Amino acid sequence: MTLYFGSYMMDLLALVTTLLAATYVYIIWTFQYWKKRNVPYLDPVIPWGNFENPMSRSVSLSEDIARICQKAIAKGWKYFGMYALTQVNFVVLDLDLVKQIMTKDFQNFVDRGFYYNEKDDPLSAHLFSIGGNKWRRLRTKLSPTFTSGKMKSMFSTLADCGLLLEKYIQNSVDNVKGNDIKEIVSKFSTDVIGSCAFGLQFNSFVDVESPFRLHGRKLFDGGKILDVKVAIGNAFPNFSKAVHLTTTPKDTSDFFRKVVEDTITYRWNNNVTRNDFLQLLLELMDKKSGAMNGITDNVGYRNPNFFLTDDENKLTMDEAAAQCFVFFVAGFETSSTTMTFALYQLAVNQDIQDKVRKEIKIVLAKHDNQITYDSLNELKYMKQVIDETLRMYAPVPFVTRQAAEDYKLPGEDVIIEKGVVAVIPIQAIHMNEEIYPVPNKFDPDRFSEENKAGRHPYAHIPFGEGPRICIGERFGIMQTKVGLTTVLRNFRVTLNKKTKYPLKLSTKGFIPSADGGVWLNFEKI
């Protein structure tokens, strides 16, 4: 028995050793890719390539990419090759080439090249990650949600959430212990998305255990294991799907799908219509074939084929849930992140805060001191503050575009081969001192009309650019303006002693956040 066990262990050890050796050789071979094609590159390190080990990061992901790009910029490169595990990336620094890939030749760069698993992880197959004809179909169908008319119709709901934010600050702030501004504005953003997307009252300011806030935190505080899973999924998509790799926690996936399913079922059973994002999705679903199998007077019963359809022009329940999911995730996290860093900078730069507040009071005085859709559009200096915040703390530090076919870079003797992912390093572009002198200085005047006119139009792309520009950009800006106006018109914000200064970014997550949080004091004025 001992001999048999020993033999078994030796065989297993030999197998593991062989697999590790094969993996090592494969990585070494992959890391020759850009050298063989005479494309400038930075030397990778086994096994993570040019990135830090996600299990032991010393800087945030956005800072890591900016660091890599700064080395290339210092060498005068317009583009360079990079490695993320075994995934080869073509990083574009020249803004004319950025425009070429994102807009002019978009038809060859429709897909992002992000890993998603529609079968095992249906919520991952949302508008941000999918590509090809499916993306085109969904983008066309969902675009009407974010027209000016739709924004105006949703505005009263958004403004009501602003009143809840104002009431919370008046009654609940504690300037001794300090106020975690990210948590406060995240509650506001969560309520906004709940009302405007789901037509539901999330009550985040009252319910400290709101499941939407809990799942929201879980998604963005996923930890190092999630970072590794995402890296593996992007580097080995076919293998990852074969082993059923998922990147959305199962309980979160089940929760969001159930919320969407229950809400849609209720609306159809009771002929309820609301002017929100979910209503548009409902209208894109097939209420006839198969869909009605899941709807009865007793909502508790659900047919296994609930909302399944073979019509590619109609949404399935999983597709609808995925779009609601990404609207929630992107809507609440990016806006709350922007508000957090904007208020931090305004607390540090009191003269800029005073200028913003003065503009708010002048504009609102012309609108009966009410926050309205039209009054927000008049807040020009606030928009400059938001733009400068988005420059310094881009919520999405980079975007990707995958080549559908071999592509010759205009004016260059370089081919981006089919399947290779082009990386647009947004944060690195925003912090390039050749474009923005003294890039670490917070200066909203960079975004005056005169200064913007003197820069390349692709020098500031916090929402991406081209046909795949963020579909919710206008909604996000509107939400951010409501939040900032609500806070600043009645309160002065200053740094609490719990805030680490100067600010250091957390090494966790994809979207930037402050290490230790941003803690503020509120002074009623």
* Binding site listing: 470
Q: How far is CA 406 from the centre of its chain?
A: 29
- Known binding-site residues for heme equal 470
Cα 118 from Cα 139, distance rounded (Å): 18
Tell me the residue ranges of DSSP E strands in 98-222. Answer: 179-180
> SS in 3 state form for 196-234?
HHHCCCCCCCCCCCCHHHHHHHHHHCCHHHHHHHHHHHH
Angle, vertex CA 469, rays to CA 515 and CA 482, nearest 5: 60
- The HSE-up count of residue 156 (CA atoms within 13 Å, CB side) is 3
At residue 415, the 3 state secondary structure works out as strand
Cα 499 from Cα 344, distance rounded (Å): 9
Instruction: Taking each helix axis as running N to C, give the angle between helix 380-392 and helix 350-365, from 0 to 180 degrees, rounded to the nearest 10.
Output: 140
Produce one character per residue of 50-69: b if its CB has 16 or more CB atoms within 10 Å, e if not: bbbebeebeebbbbbbbebb
Instruction: List residues bridging with 375 in a β-sheet.
Output: none
Is residue 460 within 8 A of residue 426, CB to CB? The reply is no
Tell me the residue ranges of DSSP E strands in 110-213. Answer: 179-180
Is residue 137 within 8 A of residue 457, CB to CB? The reply is no
Residue 251: partners with Cβ closer than 8 Å, 6 or more residues away: 215
